[in-house]
Amino acid sequence: MTPLGEASIHVPLHTIGVHTLLCVMFALLTAGSNACAAVLQRKAAAQVPPERSMHVSLLADLVRRKVWLAGIGMVIVAAVAQAAALATGPIALVQPIFIIELPVTLVLAALANHNRAALRQLPWTAIAVTTGALGAGLAVAQPSGAIESAQDTSWVIALIATAGFEAVLIGAATRTRGEPRAALLGLAAACGYALTAALMKNAMANLNQGAVQFFTTWHIYATAVAGVGALFLLQNALQAGSLVASQPMLTVGDALISISYGVTLYAEQLRTGWWLLPQVIALAAIIFGCVQIAKSPLASETTGLVRESAATVLLSSEQAGRPRTCHYGSPLAD
């Protein structure tokens, strides 16, 4: 092979590597920003009376709380970073990385409150299992390919299927209480966030064609609607039950549904054949790690990472002691 031929092969491989690196970096920044938002949003969500669940008044109450607005600010930072990640890599690579938001949130919550005892009590083994399985799973699956934008006909089918899936989950959630409700709404929120990511990727492809194309196509507006809807479902999931019920559904559901969007809408590819076995093993390890992290004392209000005020204790007793959680993160007492 001639030197010129070798150069023609190595150059595109180098470009792909740089794009993948940028994609992972932006995805990690997104996860960190969402973790910060989780700590802040939790403090606000825990104060809202349970009777406001599944009502617009829930967001009306939260928007008056500065700590919740600060959390929304971090959500905006995460959205920008996520858009950059989706613009440089496949959904099947970006979204699964967000699984690490839960352990990152626990660590940030302990650090933010200068709680060294909490740091020592963190489920480090489960965190290591989750993180290691995530990295191994992505390395084995090697998400690749992808077209820049999906066809409108594909979007129609995807949106109809998503609407039906969400209707079933929300309908079932309204007929239940406690942990089942939290799990169902957590999965519904996960589907909403996955759809938001899929729409955002298409919107970023529109932006590459110019500002006019970006603002005159429907994808960016659908992204906003889906994002607000997912946020609404999330806040209700946080109110409904414990982290053990909602968090695995939220994190793993987001990753798996996002992969399905990537494969069906953007023609993304994962390794198949015997490679599926280590991928399934990695997924099982991730689920195990997430459940163990969610079951840890620091992920429940019975322990807490900061001292509770008398008002918070009174409010918690009025709410029948139901533990509440935040997106991919640790609950915090106010």
Please write down the HEC assignment for all residues of 250-303: HHHHHHHHHHHHHHHHHCEECCCHHHHHHHHHHHHHHHHHHHHHHHCHHHCCCC
Q: What is the pLDDT of residues 59-78, one digit of tens each?
A: 677 777 787 888 889 889 98
Q: What CA–CA distance (Å, rounded) separates 160 from 45?
A: 31
pLDDT in tens, 205-238: 999 889 999 999 999 999 999 999 998 898 788 7
- Let me know if residue 61 belongs to a domain: yes
* Contact call for residues 91 and 277 (beta carbons, < 8 A): no
CA–CA separation, 172 vs 211, rounded Å?
Answer: 41
Asked if residue 329 belongs to a domain, the reply is no
Kindly tell me if the per-residue pLDDT of 314 is higher than 80.
Answer: no
- Give backbone dihedrals phi and psi of 145, rounded to 5 degrees, phi first: 75, -155
Q: Is residue 98 part of a domain?
A: yes
Confidence band, pLDDT 50/70/90 cuts, at residue 92: confident
Q: Phi and psi at residue 2, in whole multiples of 5°?
A: -75, 155
Helix/strand/coil (H, E, C) string of 104-166? HHHHHHHHHCCCHHHHHHCCHHHHHHHHHHHHHHHHHHCCEECCCCCCHHHHHHHHHHHHHHH
Name the more confident of 42 and 326.
42
Residues 232-272 pLDDT 10s: 898 788 777 766 677 778 888 888 899 999 989 998 888 88
pTM to 2 decimal places? 0.72
Residue 310: inside a domain, yes or no?
Answer: yes
pLDDT, averaged across the chain: 78
Decide if 64 contacts 9 (C-beta within 8 A). no
**Rounded CA separation 47/28 (Å):** 30
119 in a domain, yes or no? yes
What local confidence, expressed as pLDDT, does residue 52 receive?
Answer: 58
Q: Give the pLDDT of residue 155.
A: 94
- Average of per-residue pLDDT across 282-299: 81
- Domain annotation covers residue 180: yes
Cα radius of gyration (the chain)? 20
Q: What is the percent of the chain with per-residue pLDDT over 90, rounded to a whole number?
A: 23
Lowest model confidence (mean pLDDT) among 15-19, 238-242, 294-298, 299-303: 299-303
For residues 285-301, average pLDDT = 76
> What is the extent of the structural domain holding 295?
3-318
- For residue 330, tell me if it sits in a domain: no
Q: Give the count of domains, the chain.
A: 1
